[in-house]
Homo-oligomer: A and B are copies of this chain.
């Protein structure tokens, strides 16, 4: 039995996302299952070193996870040759500098999105990494959601015929904090703290569209601050200056129109918190986080407009739920495993820093389109 122990500097795992999705549900889950099994005789075992600024939080996290090593000294960690991989889940404004340092220290890179606050900086990281000859990857978790994997299956098996239109609906009602606590942090609604749903979600829409429906070539976007004031974690009313909703239309080089509504102030009457309706010549699908409903041409009813009577067609019942024919791992963990295999076995892994920079680019261009009130093209990076 050969085991590849891969030391990972995990920076920023004291945050909610880092602690839950990356440490607990990904790295610890991989450790608990005995590593990433490459063959009956060979596995990869991640060996995390927790890094952060708050020692108390690190200590608590460490004891929650069987005494994992931790440090507040990033430089020392980067100097430690036992840890060839640097992972970053800090808040966005801190990422660029830390990743630069890690590349300079010769570490491989895996990090959260947005990779930087501008696509220029994002591409700079990409070029540095390429020059340094290290391996790099960026979290693009939604691609491994069970619902999107099922959708990918439908695309790959030709279910849709030619796809021509996609309707994305993302979001839910985030309470204002006035009469009951908000379920998202107040910085989401503050521009100077990195808030705004365009910045948050367009990074995701970029890789979702690029990977499933063709490369984005142009977009028209508009943001809105629908709820102009909210109450923060300390019970203080504040003015929101970052958009809480975005209406975006993306065109792709495969001729698909993708219209996505993203909102933190929408009440959900649809199959899931994120739904993608994909229409093709031979069939359509509505994918949620876990389930996908389909309507093939052969199942498509022919409706008649007659408001004088209740519709004789059940517009939900005429769709079919696709089966769950396999167990799906947590989406973050699934991508972690692929990246670790890429690292150790050199398996292909396309979701690198360039792809990360593309996500930042789409957010940038989204703001530009909103500002110009016009379509903008998406230049190659």
Q: Are A153 and B259 in contact, CB atoms less than 8 angstroms apart?
A: no
Neighbour of A165 across the interface among B226, B307, B326, CB < 8 A: B226
Q: What is the predominant secondary structure among interface residues of chain A facing chain B?
A: loop
Q: Are B305 and A294 in contact (CB under 8 A)?
A: no
**Is the pair B316, A269 in contact by a Cβ cutoff of 8 Å?**
yes
A290 with B310: in contact, given A257-B224, A266-B165, A267-B284 (CB under 8 Å)?
A: yes
Contact present for B279 and A267 (CB under 8 Å): yes
- Chain B residues in 8 Å Cβ range of A227: 164, 281
- Near B by CB (< 8 A), chain A positions 285-330 give 286, 289-290, 293-305, 307-308, 310-311, 313, 315-316, 318-320, 322-323, 325-326, 330
Tell me, yes or no, whether A33 is within 8 Å of chain B by CB: no
Instruction: Give Cα A9–Cα B325 distance, bound, in whole angstroms.
Output: 37
Which chain B residues border A169 with CB–CB below 8 Å?
A: 167
**A85 an interface residue at 8 Å Cβ cutoff?**
no
Query: How far, in Å, is A103 (CB) from chain B's closest CB?
Result: 31
Contact of A375 among B154, B245, B373 (CB under 8 A): B373
- Is A212 interfacial (CB 8 A cutoff)? no
Among A249, A313, A330, max chain B CB count under 10 A is at A249
CA distance A137 to B373 in the complex (A): 35
Residue of B nearest to A153 (CB): B179
**Which one, B266, B304, B372, contacts A279 given CB within 8 A?**
B266
Contact A319 B269 (CB under 8 A): yes
A179 to B318, CA, bound (A): 20
The answer to whether B224 touches A183 (Cβ under 8 A) is: no
Q: Mark A58-81, 1 if CB is under 8 A from B, else 0.
A: 000000000000000000000000
Of B220, B261, B322, the contact of A373 (CB 8 Å cutoff): B220
Q: Contacts A263-B165, A303-B273 given; indicate if A157 touches B298 (C-beta within 8 A).
A: yes
Residues of the B chain whose Cβ atoms lie less than 8 Å from the Cβ of A269: 271, 277, 284, 286, 293, 295, 315-316, 319
Considering only CB atoms, which chain B residue lies closest to A307 in the complex?
B289
Residues B157 and A297 in contact, CB atoms below 8 Å apart: yes
Q: Is the CB of A298 within 8 A of B273?
A: no
CA distance A169 to B259 in the complex (A): 12
Asked if A266 contacts B247 (CB within 8 A), the reply is no
Check A315–B261 contact: CB distance below 8 A.
no
Contact A322 B299 (CB under 8 A): yes
User: Which of A25, A146, A299 has most chain B Cβ within 10 Å?
Assistant: A299
Known: A294-B298, A303-B172. A320 touches B323 (CB 8 A): no
Cα distance, A249 to B268, chains bound together (Å): 20
The reply to whether A159 and B296 contact each other, CB–CB distance below 8 Å, is yes
Given A295-B267, A330-B308, check contact A302 B320 (CB 8 Å). no
Is A51 interfacial (CB 8 A cutoff)?
no
Known interface pairs A220-B222, A269-B293; A299-B315 also in contact (CB < 8 Å): no
B181, B277, B313, B331: the one contacting A326 at CB < 8 Å is B181
Report whether A154 and B294 are in contact in the complex, using a CB–CB cutoff of 8 Å.
no
Chain B residues within 8 Å of A273, by CB: 303, 305, 311
Q: Taking the nearest CB of chain B, how far is it from the CB of A145, in angstroms?
A: 5
Interface residues, chain A, with chain B CB atoms under 8 Å away:
25, 40, 56, 145-147, 153-154, 156-157, 159, 164-165, 167, 169, 172-173, 175, 179-181, 183, 220, 222, 224, 226-227, 245, 247, 249, 257, 259, 261, 263, 265-273, 277, 279, 281-284, 286, 289-290, 293-305, 307-308, 310-311, 313, 315-316, 318-320, 322-323, 325-326, 330-331, 372-375
